[in-house]
């Protein structure tokens, strides 16, 4: 079994002085002996040894869960990787989450302690650990005890209501997927990635932190994406790849800089939600940079499919399977069976990086006896094995028995002049059950009545009647989740709210 501690030790011995993490704010953190906002591989090794001793002395055995709540990104990232390397299970928490949300997650994860600056807002009785003292200038050597290891990351996912689903990603799963990400994206020690995504999410943890560690590369952490100054920052930090989401790519495509961007960038990675083909084209036309669209989920330790960095990339596709088995199936009798290429069905996955069961709270039957996990997504595989997502199964609009996939309408609306972003959801209909309605964000200032008329005319000319939105709502922005995914439940709340 591959251990994260082995990666840390090897990186410290071979690349000790090389930077592993950098903080764009250039601030020191109480959690590590960083200098000028930089953590070297030798520093990561020292921190891992210090955390191992700290947890041992606190009576927290290998395999036990330790929650992490810290506001500083570099300190957060350092503690997360070091505690994982010390053989414990990290429970990453949103540092900005309200007390009620923290209580919900902690009730599911049940950690033995929490790493936090204070006990404010935490449930009573939970041991709070401060940072360990990290020795300075201790030579890197292969001396971290790797016996009886049971490290991992415990994440919760459930949306905004109900009991969270507990997902335990074991150390071997994390290492397998992180290695696949590094290999698929051809990361090397010469690479410098950029990540502004939340560190309590699996994308930043595996694609950002652990894939960078697997490649012995460097990751630049940013607290929050900001369009202003973004490209100068990328050039200043000599970034070679950008870990992004469709929301970021959309914003950048709407406002390209006058000067060419840094020539060191190899690709921009898109994840967490489907990227509309028209947005991909706008971005690539404006910047001349390839966008690598991918698909992943927490239950698979992040990446499931990806377009190749060097090779055929298909607009609108999430790419081909990356060290994970993927099939599209339909229910026939009591079993799910694969469908033909091009047919839409339920996306199912299995492999070394995919969980075999939920730790707690998972839906019954989500994983069958053969290990296939039903993702809840709908899509199809083409003749070349590329996956095209149609949307979530619970987002499908049932209009009088006809199934309508919102993404098809959204992609059409985004191709219309003046549209910056669009989301289509179901509204209740007394006769048909459901009907599509559209929320539209204009790309710039304009007269909404004229835009609405133009969109209605365009839909009438190109879309079948059932797929034409019955209402268009102008909004300044769409509600987004922490990783830039449209929060459709909030749009549904707006649609059903009394006038």
Please tell me the number of Cα atoms within 13 Å of 429 on its side-chain side: 19
Terminal Cα distance for the chain, rounded: 58
Q: Measure the CA–CA gap between 210 and 307, rounded to whole angstroms.
A: 20
Express each pLDDT in 317-370 by its tens digit. Answer: 999 999 999 999 999 988 899 999 999 999 999 999 999 999 988 887 789 999
Q: Is the pLDDT of residue 56 over 90?
A: yes
Express each pLDDT in 143-183 by its tens digit. Answer: 555 444 679 999 998 654 456 899 999 999 999 999 999 99
Tokens found for residue 96: 């900005």
Q: Measure the CA–CA gap between 133 and 112, rounded to whole angstroms.
A: 21
Q: Measure the CA–CA gap between 360 and 342, rounded to whole angstroms.
A: 35
Higher pLDDT, 250 or 185: 185
- Residue with structure tokens 């839409």? 344
Q: How many other CB atoms are there within 10 angstroms of residue 26's CB atom?
A: 11
Contacts of 93 (CB under 8 A, 6+ apart): 67, 68, 69, 102, 105, 106, 114, 200
pLDDT score for 450: 83
pLDDT score for 149: 61
CA angle 224, 228, 234 (to 5 degrees): 75
Express each pLDDT in 412-471 by its tens digit. Answer: 999 999 898 899 999 998 888 999 999 999 887 766 778 889 999 999 999 999 999 999
53: confidence class by pLDDT, cuts 50, 70, 90: very high
Q: Measure the CA–CA gap between 136 and 276, rounded to whole angstroms.
A: 49
pLDDT score for 147: 46
**Whether pTM exceeds 0.85:** yes
Q: Measure the CA–CA gap between 29 and 31, rounded to whole angstroms.
A: 5
Q: Is the pLDDT of residue 196 over 50?
A: yes
Say what percent of the chain tops pLDDT 70.
Answer: 92
Average pLDDT over residues 96-105: 88
- Asked if residues 6 and 85 have their Cβ atoms less than 8 Å apart, the reply is no
Exposed, middle or buried: residue 221 (CB in 10 Å: 0-12, 13-18, 19+)?
buried
pLDDT score for 327: 98
Express each pLDDT in 59-81 by its tens digit. Answer: 999 999 999 999 899 999 999 99
Average pLDDT over residues 226-237: 92
Mean confidence (pLDDT) of the chain: 90
């Amino acid at each position: 079994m591959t251990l994260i501690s082995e990666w840390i030790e090897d990186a410290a011995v071979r690349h000790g002085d090389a930077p592993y993490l950098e903080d764009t704010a250039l601030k020191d953190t109480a959690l590590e002996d960083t200098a000028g906002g930089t953590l070297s591989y030798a520093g990561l090794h020292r921190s891992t040894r210090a955390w191992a001793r700290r947890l041992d002395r606190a009576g927290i055995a290998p395999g036990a869960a330790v929650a992490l709540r810290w506001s500083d990104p570099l300190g957060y990232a350092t503690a997360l990787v070091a505690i994982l390397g010390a053989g414990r299970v990290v429970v990453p928490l949103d540092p900005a989450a309200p007390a009620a949300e923290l209580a919900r997650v902690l009730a599911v994860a049940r950690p033995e302690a929490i790493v936090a600056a204070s006990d404010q807002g935490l449930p009573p009785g939970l041991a709070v650990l401060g940072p360990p003292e990290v020795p300075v200038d201790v030579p890197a050597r292969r001396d971290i005890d790797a016996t009886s290891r049971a490290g991992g990351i415990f994440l919760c996912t459930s949306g905004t209501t109900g009991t969270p689903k507990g997902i335990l990603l074991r150390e071997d799963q994390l290492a397998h997927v992180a290695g696949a990400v590094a290999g698929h994206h051809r990361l090397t020690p010469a690479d410098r990635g950029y990540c502004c995504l939340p560190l309590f999410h699996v994308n930043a943890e595996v694609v950002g932190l652990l894939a960078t560690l697997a490649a012995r590369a460097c990751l630049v952490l940013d607290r929050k994406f900001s369009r202003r100054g973004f490209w100068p920052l990328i050039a200043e930090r000599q970034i070679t790849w950008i870990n992004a989401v469709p929301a970021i790519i959309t914003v950048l495509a709407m406002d390209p800089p006058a000067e060419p961007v840094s020539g060191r960038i190899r690709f921009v990675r898109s994840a967490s939600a489907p990227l509309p083909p028209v947005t991909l084209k706008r971005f690539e036309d404006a910047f001349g940079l390839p966008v690598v669209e991918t698909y992943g989920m927490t239950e698979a330790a992040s990446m499931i499919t990806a377009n190749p960095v060097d090779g055929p990339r298909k607009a609108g596709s999430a790419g081909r399977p990356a060290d994970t088995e993927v099939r599209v199936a339909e229910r026939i009798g009591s079993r799910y069976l694969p469908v033909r290429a091009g047919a839409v069905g339920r996306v199912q996955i299995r492999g070394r990086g995919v969980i075999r069961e939920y730790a707690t709270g998972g839906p019954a039957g989500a994983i069958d006896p053969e290990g296939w996990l039903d993702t809840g997504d709908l899509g199809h595989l083409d003749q070349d094995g590329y996956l095209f997502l149609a949307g979530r199964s619970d987002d499908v609009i049932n209009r009088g028995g006809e199934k309508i996939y919102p993404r098809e309408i959204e992609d059409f609306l985004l191709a219309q002049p003046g549209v910056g972003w669009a989301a289509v959801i179901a509204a209740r209909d007394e006769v048909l059950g459901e009907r599509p309605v559209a929320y539209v964000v204009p790309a710039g200032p304009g007269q909404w009545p004229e835009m609405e008329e133009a969109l209605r005319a365009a839909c009438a000319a190109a879309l079948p009647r059932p797929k034409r939105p019955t209402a268009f709502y102008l909004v300044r922005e769409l509600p987004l989740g922490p990783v830039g995914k449209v929060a459709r439940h909030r749009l549904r709340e707006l649609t059903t709210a009394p006038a």
